[in-house]
Amino acid sequence: MTTLITNIKELLQVRDTKIDKVSGAAMAILPTIKNAYLLIDDNLIADFGSMDNLPKITADQTIDATGKMILPAWCDSHTHLVYAGNREQEFVDRINGLSYEEIANRGGGILNSAKKLNDATEEEIYIQSKERLEEVMRLGTGAVEIKSGYGLTIDGELKMLRVIKKLATNYPLAIKATFLGAHAFPAAYKDDRKGYIDILINKMLPEISKDNLADYVDVFCETGYFTVEETEQIMNAGIQFGLKPKIHVNQFNSIGGVQAGIKYNALSVDHLEVMTSSDIEALKNTDTMPVALPSCSYFLSIPYTPAREMIAAGLPLALATDYNPGSTPSGNMNFVVATACIKMKMTPEEAINAATINGAYAMGLSDTHGSITAGKKANLIITKPIHSYYQLPYAFGSNLIDTVIIEGKVIA
């Protein structure tokens, strides 16, 4: 099945050769072709170029994109979209003055989600989660990472990871699974941290490895959660079972988590709302991708990742949603891109690079996703007629997506 898209007003994120990521000043460069065509062969990008050079092509179907732009589907490298129920009451509690930490200390937060998840059946969790996944696909996401971490028991964590695997089997977009058993300490292990870490390492990880349920291992390295030493212990154990680290760091405090992630060659370090000069310096010339989650900052009213300082230091940056029931109940990458521009002062070019090519890198998908490159997956966003791609973040409350194509097929 071949599809030819013609008269594209502007084709964004065009890369003739595959590159892993963009960093520093290069993030401000977004290669495009105006008045373009694009050819899809089955689920892959086969060819593209200027309409002036359109070869004779006999395609099975043709789409006229006059007035519309095309860009790669979003690559959302940090979500928790598999969960049960919601935490609407905590939203109201925060409005009434309680902090995220205060809510967590009285049994809310992650422990609240863990109770809901362990009370739900695997099928109930799947049904709720697939609705969220279908929504983010319609919003233009073509690759997504999903974490466990709301089980905090062997059965609960395995249940979550099986749901993620079922989603990956049943839906066309790329899904990466991350084991986040180290999301918080269960109430029963509040005074026995070593005991819970022993379960993570010696009971959960072997089961996950046996059934091939995860690609990555994650830890919430933060004051009141897992210390740097505990984080290193869990990352090291995950590596022994073939799981590459991707870790939560610097959401509320800078305690050395960034440096720990780099030490263990983490694929990404995520959140980064609180960054010191030494944190930024440590990330230079590493293979670790910094990931910002601006809609989490928006929802919790906490600082935003200092994108300008990081990019000025020559670092790459990815953007992701952090879709979860407590601190970011939204998987809308369009809002993430707009918020990065509005609140983090990223340019539209930087934000689109961060949400496509760098997002793909942050979940190990550089070879197949994140840019308009021959041989990569035909995962595309076709916009409605717009003046320029600046309108995508500018009109932050408007749905400017006309069509989403994933693996060469239009998503209903």
Dump pLDDT digits (tens) for 151-198.
Answer: 999 999 999 999 999 999 999 999 999 999 999 999 999 999 999 999
Q: In sequence order, what E strands does 163-303 have?
A: 174-182, 216-221, 244-249, 268-271, 289-292
Residue 164, pLDDT score: 98
pLDDT at 108 over 90: no
Closest listed residue to residue 251, CA positions, set 141, 110, 396: 110
What does DSSP say about strands 268-271 and 289-292: parallel, antiparallel, or unpaired?
parallel
pLDDT at 30 over 80: yes
Region 316-339 average pLDDT = 97
pLDDT at 135 over 80: yes
Q: Say which DSSP state 301 is in.
A: T
Closest listed residue to residue 35, CA positions, set 6, 73, 57: 6
Residues 6+ apart with CB under 8 A from 115: none
Residue 104, pLDDT score: 81
Region 104-130 average pLDDT = 91
Residues 6+ apart with CB under 8 A from 192: none
Region 327-343 average pLDDT = 97
How much of the chain, in percent, has pLDDT values that exceed 70? Answer: 100
Residue 292, pLDDT score: 98
Q: In sequence order, what E strands does 131-215 have?
A: 141-147, 174-182
Residue 99, pLDDT score: 85
> Which residue pairs from 184-187 have beta carbons closer than 8 angstroms and sit at least 24 positions apart in sequence?
184/104, 184/109, 184/110, 184/111, 184/114, 184/149, 184/152, 184/220, 184/225, 185/152, 185/225, 186/111, 186/114, 186/152, 186/153, 187/107, 187/111
Q: Are 72 and 402 in contact (CB under 8 A)?
A: no
Q: Are 296 and 322 in contact (CB under 8 A)?
A: yes
What single-letter amino acid sits at 74? Answer: W
Query: Whose structure tokens read 């373009």?
Result: 36
E strand or H helix that includes residue 319: strand 318-319
Question: Hey, is 260 helix, strand or coil?
Answer: helix
Region 264-273 average pLDDT = 98
Region 304-333 average pLDDT = 97
Region 69-98 average pLDDT = 94
How much of the chain, in percent, has pLDDT values that exceed 90? Answer: 92
In the predicted model, what is the mean pLDDT of the chain?
96
pLDDT at 106 over 90: no
Region 126-144 average pLDDT = 98
What does DSSP say about strands 61-64 and 141-147: parallel, antiparallel, or unpaired?
unpaired
Which of the four pLDDT bands, split at 50, 70 and 90, describes residue 107? confident
Region 295-305 average pLDDT = 96
The CA distances from residue 335 to 41, 174, 370, 379, in Å, are 31, 21, 18, 19
Q: How many Å is the Cα radius of gyration of the chain?
A: 21
The CA distances from residue 50 to 10, 55, 351, 375, 391, in Å, are 10, 10, 25, 18, 23
Q: Are 9 and 34 in contact (CB under 8 A)?
A: yes
Region 325-343 average pLDDT = 97
Which of the four pLDDT bands, split at 50, 70 and 90, describes residue 100? confident
Structure tokens at 392: 């995508």
Distance of CA 355 to the CA centre of its chain: 8
Structure tokens at 201: 């390492």
What single-letter amino acid sits at 215? Answer: D
Question: Hey, is 324 helix, strand or coil?
Answer: strand
Question: Hey, is 365 helix, strand or coil?
Answer: coil
